[in-house]
Chains A and B, each alone.
Chain A
Amino acid sequence: MKKSKVFWVYIIVALIGYGIINVLINNGTLDLYYSNLIITIMINIILAVSLHLIIGITGQFSIGHAGFLAVGAYVSAICTMYFNLPFVIALVVGAIVAGFMGLLIGIPTLRLRGDYLAIATLGFSEIIRIFFLNWDYVGGASGMQVTQMTTWTYAFFCTLATIIVILNFTNSRHGRACIAVREDEIAADSMGINTTYYKVVAFVIGAFFAGLAGGLFSHNFYVILPVQFGFLKSFDILIYVVLGGLGSMTGAIFAAILLTVVSLYLQDFPETRMIIYSLVLIIVMLYRPSGLMGTKEITDLFKFKKRSKGGNVND
């Protein structure tokens, strides 16, 4: 079967899934608790997939993803609450501002080889948190009231858009250039790939979708607090990508779903949760450094007949 046909099959499956859950939410089978859980899972999937593009595909180590989430959350909340813009526009504005922030961080740090991005993003997310903490316009430490607007429909279509854009990017020539940068930056450079350009592009796209997730996040909980966007949030996103497999999008999605449910059960024991997470992270890195799935995709398991080796993995 042709690749484009496979793509449409998946889209139809996803839309059917959307329809079923929509009906279940509307007739009350899934109560508020579960529908909230599903929306949180969708937000986490967007975050996991956007970080997967930066870490898994391009091989750049960013540990400040919660910073972009915070930018998207606050900017879109300001748009809806203070400027009365429609929710869709607020989401897009939040995402664009987050992407612009990604550009500002990415250009100086990604020119260089080495791990400067890790420190710069960590610093950026801390500064963003301190900035919102000290900005009285958005309520400072006591947080900002936000109307609940995120529905299953918004969450689903944002997630679908994120997955489609990032999947198509990965399978395009730009994506292959990013994978080349991940595998060997010097070799990629000598093959004529503009490594800085591709690293920045991947980073900005990742930041953009993190900002989109931020918009959904802020309109889901009635209130946003700067403390929600600390280092631990970045770490939560990181563990989705690492556990799922560095370079496996379906792995990241699966890990995001699994860990969101797990952390729901562990939410009364936050210290234990962090100890378990960090031990899992260390053990996975020591014994299976490519993550649980490696660069394989779960969808490879149900390959359609006569399909040549495809997907977004070319190694």
Chain B
Amino acid sequence: MEWLQQLINGVSLGSIYALIALGYTMVYGIIKLINFAHGDVFMIGAFVGFYAVTYWNVGFFPALIIAMILCAILGVVIERLAYKRLRNATRIAALITAIGVSLLIEYTMIYFRGSQIETYPDGLVPNTKIDILGAQISSQSLLILGVSISLMVLLQFIVHKTKIGKAMRAVSHDADAARLMGINVDNTISATFAIGSALAGAAGVIFGLYYTRIDPLMGLLPGVKAFVAAVLGGIGSIPGAMTGGMLLGVVETVVSGLGFSLWRDAAAFVILIIILIFRPAGIFGKNTREKV
């Protein structure tokens, strides 16, 4: 039952990617910008969670909620200060700003606290092995999976059943038409950033719990991989980001399981190249013709 264990591990790792990918895909869907700073919001989430559990001695769930709230605020601040002015700028100007914001967050963090590694405390959540069908599955993996899936269900509820979700879908479909219908586009975009960043913050805390080691430059690689997951699922599609993230997690676990753990990080980019050659729209994406 080795494979079942690997599968559960892969899916719980993948759910971290999926949570980050959701923020990418929502922001890309609404303003067509790769938000490079998203990986750093994830890093900030991990650190907020760490400080919450070590200095304020709160439990895992309160730390998760504190991290989500602070990251949501950070996301809105980034959007208001940096990206809002660039709505009508060229793509390159927006991308360069995003990279600038990303590095600014990373190095401000290093400037104030140094670049040393922090370690999440043990025993934050009960970690026992559960025997399911002969496979040893840690309760921590199940908890991670449970938290991520509940967050995704919550996101689906917000996007499909609430007024702000309806506004988000309208703006991503056609911002000008949405504005004509009386939707406040600026607030809707801010709300998208808030929700996406909150999910990244949650992913940061979960990442800390899973890998225990966090550092100020940890956001780069998971951020890029999550973007690959979003492209894999079809950029702009919320179920696509979830599926893409899970799939990427499983592939990475399989690659390490086969003994190529050094090449685990390369797997994501091989997937990106393959998907761009054979199905650039992604699994759930629709092929749309570009109109002038």
Contacts and interface: CB of A to CB of B under 8 A. Distances in A.
A231 B262 contact: no
Instruction: Summarize B's interface: helix, strand, loop or mixed.
Output: helix
Nearest to A187: B292
Contacts, number: 113
B96 A281 contact: yes
Contact of A281 (B100, B231, B273, B280): B100
Contact of B82 (A120, A238, A282): A282
Given A108-B273, A108-B276, A122-B224, A115 B95 contact: yes
Contact of B269 (A59, A123, A186): A123
Given A108-B273, A113-B290, A286-B86, A235 B103 contact: yes
A279 B85 CA distance: 16
* Chain A contact patch, size range: 35 or more
B112 to A, nearest CB: 9
B125 interface: no
A193 interface: no
A112 B280 contact: yes
A225 interface: no
Contacts of B276: 108-109, 111-112, 116, 120
Given A116-B231, A119-B227, A281 B99 contact: yes
B218 interface: no
Interface string B87-120: 0011111111101111110111011000000000
B262 A134 contact: yes
A231 B106 CA distance: 13
A274 B107 contact: yes
Contact of B99 (A105, A186, A238): A238
B124 interface: no
Interface in A98-114: 105, 108-109, 111-113
Nearest to B33: A115
B292 A282 contact: no
Nearest to A56: B92
Interface of B: 34, 82, 85-86, 89-97, 99-104, 106-108, 110-111, 220-221, 224, 227-228, 231, 262, 265-266, 268-269, 272-273, 276-277, 280, 290, 292
Top 8 closest pairs, chain A to chain B, by CB? A281-B100, A123-B269, A289-B93, A274-B107, A282-B100, A278-B103, A278-B104, A285-B97
5 contacts: A61-B92, A105-B273, A242-B96, A286-B86, A289-B90
